[in-house]
Amino acid sequence: MKLATEVDIELNNGKKIPALGLGTVASDDPKDVKDQVITAVKAGYRHIDTAWFYGTEKYIGEALKELFDEGVVKRDDLFITTKVWPSFYHSPEKSLDQSLSDLGLDYVDLFLQHWPVCLHGDENGLPKAPKDANGNLEYDDDPVTGTKFIDVYHTLEDILDNTSKVKAIGVSNYSIPKLRELLPKVKKHIPVVNQIEYHPHLPQQDLVDFCEKNKIVVSCYSPVGSGGAPVLKIPLVKELAKKYDVTENEIANAYNILNNRVTLPRSSNLERIKTIIRLPPLTKEELDELYQVGVNDPHRYICDPWGYGLGFKWWTGDTLSKEFD
Ligand SMILES: NC(=O)c1ccc[n+]([C@@H]2O[C@H](COP(=O)([O-])OP(=O)(O)OC[C@H]3O[C@@H](n4cnc5c(N)ncnc54)[C@H](OP(=O)(O)O)[C@@H]3O)[C@@H](O)[C@H]2O)c1
């Protein structure tokens, strides 16, 4: 059977991104991420997805140093993504410098704007989720009507053009309305990727089609629906795992990869990281059937408060977004 670790997807800048990337949000102790990265790279993963926000970059840096020192891989063999968080929106290069220093790298392959939102962080991007006296998030720009998020993307373009610290730039958590606002204003570099929640329970075909039309690769976070892995409980996922004699996780990843999307699983279980790398050859009919699961029963599992109002469908409690329908 083909391996997911061997599939690359072409980006709009002519470079390639490995379709299987290891997610690095810490499940418990951030230090555990070091072994997760070492295990993944030794198993053949060549793509690590991280962010300043996750607080795990130092441990990823330790893992990379060990892997490079032992000659397991060279820097050029890996594709590493990091992101600038909304509370650090005013200083993307400072955020990037901190990420590079923690990772022990001179450059990242991809630098993403984590959310199209501007939160009121200090010069070091802290606190990460600033709140006012009433417990509401403190924004520096209206999350629904503000346009500062476009300036942040312009700064990413400047970093790409004027430094050697990033090879490509992109976005994350951009809905269709936000992409519609950004794309006509891009100076020179269309985002290569939009990283969003995507799995068989979340049928965002309109967003995927919009990205495809604009040559933006969709990168899927929470491929099994995050904590509790609800996607793995879908009867069709179980049935297909049995049919192809693979794990349910591999069906969830194949659903993305065979549709030309990047998939970003995370696990604290080293055995699981190692063993979920096969790519079962699901048929077009099976991929379509998996899509229908979400059409009939849609669920979004990551409904962070800073995503409220961005125009995503099935965002629990989001009434602001209705105006975008
Ligand atoms: N751009 C963004 O805003 C954003 C947002 C969220 C995530 N991300 C990225 O995407 C990555 C993955 O996201 P995620 O953590 O939400 O996704 P996920 O991979 O869908 O879910 C991981 C969770 O599923 C559990 N799991 C996986 N397989 C299982 C199995 N066979 N049985 C039981 N439990 C299982 C894992 O537990 P175990 O640890 O026990 O395996 C873990 O708790 C993150 O690490 C991050 O890199 C990006």
Every domain of the chain and the residues it spans: 4-324
Ligand 1 centroid–CA 217 distance in Å is 20
The DSSP output letter for 136 is: P
Pocket of ligand 1 contains residue 300 by CB under 6 Å? no
Specify the pLDDT at position 316. 78
What are the phi and psi torsion angles at 181 (to 5°)? -75, -40
Specify the pLDDT at position 12. 98
Measure Cα distances from 235 to 200, 230, 275, 293 in Å: 12, 11, 21, 10
Specify the ligand 1 atom closest to the Cα of 229: 24
Specify the pLDDT at position 319. 57
Specify the pLDDT at position 325. 47
Q: How far apart are CA 211 and CA 193, in angstroms?
A: 8
Ligand 1 centroid–CA 223 distance in Å is 7
Specify the pLDDT at position 309. 87
Domain 4-324 bears CATH identifier 3.90.1170.10: no
Tens-of-pLDDT digits for all 325 residues of the chain? 999 999 999 999 999 999 999 999 999 999 999 999 999 999 999 999 999 999 999 999 999 999 999 999 999 999 999 999 999 999 999 999 999 999 999 999 999 999 999 999 999 999 999 999 999 999 999 998 999 999 999 999 999 999 999 999 999 999 999 999 999 999 999 999 999 999 999 999 999 999 999 999 999 999 999 999 999 999 999 999 999 999 999 999 999 999 999 999 999 999 999 999 999 999 999 999 999 999 999 999 999 999 988 999 898 766 555 544 4
Tokens of 127: 């606190």
Pocket of ligand 1 contains residue 80 by CB under 6 Å? no
The helix, strand and coil proportions of the chain, stated in percent and rounded to the nearest 5, come to 40, 15, 45
Contact 115, 171 (CB under 8 A): no
Pocket of ligand 1 contains residue 221 by CB under 6 Å? yes
Specify the pLDDT at position 225. 98
Q: Is 90 annotated as a binding residue?
A: no
